[in-house]
Structure 1
Amino acid sequence: MYKKGLFSYVLICLGVMSVIFTGCGNREKDKASTSAPTEKVELTISAAASLTDALKEIQTNYENRHQTIKLRFNFGASGALQQQIEQGAPADLFFSASSKNMNTLIDKKLIDDSQHKNILRNDLVVVVPANDKANVQKVEDLSNDNIKYVALGEPKTVPAGNYAKEALTYSKLWDSLQPKVVQGKDVRQVLTYVESGNAEAGFVYKTDALTSKAITIAFNVDPQSYTPIQYPAGIVKATKHSKEISDFYTYLQGKEAQDMFVKYGFSIPE
């Protein structure tokens, strides 16, 4: 009887110890799973330089609401970004300042044909230094002798530069102004040329002009003189994060994001 009772006692003790160790093990697993950081999905957006300020604010809001998403922006001239995507540079979404660059990638089947849309519009303006003494009020004034340099984006790769070329060609000034033209790699560099006084005038988007206190808008370029400025966004077919980039693409079209774009001077297509 004594041996039988002792054996039962040992079994009970072993059972209790097993439960204790199992519980501790589970707690350690739960603790480990709770403390382990969730790996973030990084989305790369190749975006026109003129979108920089608006998208940086959108980034803060979006990442605060989506803790598992990290947005990485590659800002530059739309033509240069288009070429990068063609050459295989990593990108999940292309946000262009020109339909032409987007259509080229669609034709080459690099952008999802069912997931691209014109999201924004912009206007072309001519800016001058804030302390302007050149008295520039219309496009013809760029021919005046006191205007030594006129800055604009490189027309082949910078949409704003191409729009400027269209406007100057329409006004029959493109050829005569060539000796004065200074080309920038993107619209932000053009803005810098004018801010620094290295150019007396420059063609930029209205949205870029609104970001600087060192310049002032001399005049709005006649919208009849250049192609309407549209900003299409499209999902790159090679993305490895289809769901996540699709969610962000949808967010860009929503009221919260569009209100932010309007805040920075963009307009929304009707």
Structure 2
Amino acid sequence: MSHMYTRLNAIITTIGLCVISNSSFAASISVSAATSLYNAFQDIAKAYVQQYPEDQVQLNFGASGALLQQMQNGAPVDVFASADQQTMDQAQARNLVQAKDRINFVNNKLVLITPKKGGVTVRSLKDLQQNGIKHIALGNPAYTPAGRYAQAAMEQAHLWNKVQPKIVNVNNVRQALDYVANQSAEAGFVFGTDAAIMPDKVSVAITIPTRKPVSYPIAKTVASKEPAAAYRFIRFIRSAKGQQILKNYGFQGAS
């Protein structure tokens, strides 16, 4: 398990990825983004710097709620991208972002995954009650959007109280993905784009309907010291090039 935790810690903790041009930069921006955006945003940051070589981008990933707490505690952030509306609503309520600066830029879907090899058969949420499933990896609903979506789905199916003893609360969707991939859990809830990263190790058992679309908002923060560059980065994400990169990773266009 040690190698798994080593890998997990690289995502759970604050991650700084600097994409720096060879020339002197005009602006350095810090982007805090939901863990499910990890791969796509690394590619986006590189493509952005190629187009705007005067800028520098630092990426920070984590559960949306954890990133919100970091901003609340004074972490310098220019752009915030969360995996749900609720977290961005909280950021707005705390005056960390303004309504005029937030916009939905991509959609995702919630899925239930099982190990690719030797996994149990799951055709519906009710199958989570079977004896073969002893551990269900789930991002802590207190601060992970995927966890909240999953809890709501299980409550709607009248299963939450029945399967709660099996729930293993993890820090984010990538940790849930790793638990299932390493067969430390027989099932787990992640976003579709997370499952697509390990098609050789996990299978998507079912796609979970959600009451509201799994839409991702992004916003320049109120405390941004580089507002022009922050807006420029957001425009790039919404451009055809940025959207294509997101699509390459399985994200869907914002509705």
Interval of TM-score (by shorter of Structure 1 and Structure 2): 0.7 to 0.9
- Residue identity opposite 2:116 in structure 1: A
Deviation at 1:160, TM superposition (A): 0.3
CA shift digits 1:81-117 (9 cap, x unpaired) = 1111111111001000011111111122221331110
SS in 1 for 2:122: coil
Say yes or no: does 1:264 pair with 2:245. Answer: no
- Which AA in structure 1 matches 2:164? Q
Give the corresponding residue for 1:33. none
- Choose from 205, 214, 217 the match for 1:218: 205
Alignment-derived partner of residue 228 in structure 2: 243
Amino acid at match of 1:197: Q
**Deviation of residue 40 (structure 1)?**
5.0
1:42 partner SS = strand
Q: How does 1:200-211 map to 2 (within 5 A)?
A: 200-211=186-197
Query: In 1, distance between residues paired with 2:187 and 2:58?
Result: 33
1:96 aligns with one of 77, 82, 85: 82
Q: Distance in 2 between matches of 1:269 and 1:68?
A: 29
Tell me the TM-score normalised to structure 1 length.
0.83
* Number of residue-to-residue matches in the alignment: 233
Structure 1 runs, 4 residues or longer, greater than 3 Å off: none
* Structure-to-structure mapping, 1:13-162, within 5 angstroms: 38-39=24-25, 41-162=27-148
Partner of 2:9: none
**Which has the higher mean CA deviation after the structures are superposed, 205-214 or 62-71?**
62-71
1:174 aligns with 2:160: yes
Whether contact under 8 Å (2:136, 2:167) holds in the other structure is yes
Equivalent residue in structure 2 for 1:234, among 219, 224, 229: 219
Cα deviation per residue 1:190-233 (whole Å; 9 max; x = unaligned)?
0011011110000000000001121111111133xx43211000
Contact kept, 8 Å, 1:134 with 1:146, in 2: the verdict is: yes
Residues in 1 aligned to 2:116 and 2:152: alpha-carbon distance in whole angstroms: 26
Give the residue type in structure 1 aligned to 2:234: Y
Alignment of 1:189-200 (within 5 A): 189-200=175-186
CA deviation map 1:23-43 (0-9, x unaligned): xxxxxxxxxxxxx95245221
Structure 2 unaligned runs (5+)?
Answer: 1-21
User: RMSD of the TM alignment (CA)?
Assistant: 1.4
State the partner residue of 2:5: none
In 2: Cα distance, 1:76 partner to 1:133 partner: 28
Equivalent residue of 2:153, what SS?
helix
Larger Rg, first or second structure (1 or 2) = 1
Any conservation in 1 of the 2:23–2:53 contact (CA below 8 Å)? no
Distance in 1 between residues matched to 2:203 and 2:248, nearest whole Å:
18
- TM, length-normalised to structure 2: 0.88
More helix by share: 1
Q: Is the Cα–Cα contact under 8 Å of residues 137 and 189 in structure 2 kept in the other structure? A: yes
Q: Percent identity?
A: 34
3-state SS of the aligned residue for 2:133?
Answer: coil
The letter of the residue matching 2:221 is: V
SS of alignment partner, residue 100 of structure 2: strand
Amino acid at match of 2:226: H
Unaligned runs of 5+ in 1: 1-35
2:58 aligned counterpart, secondary structure = strand
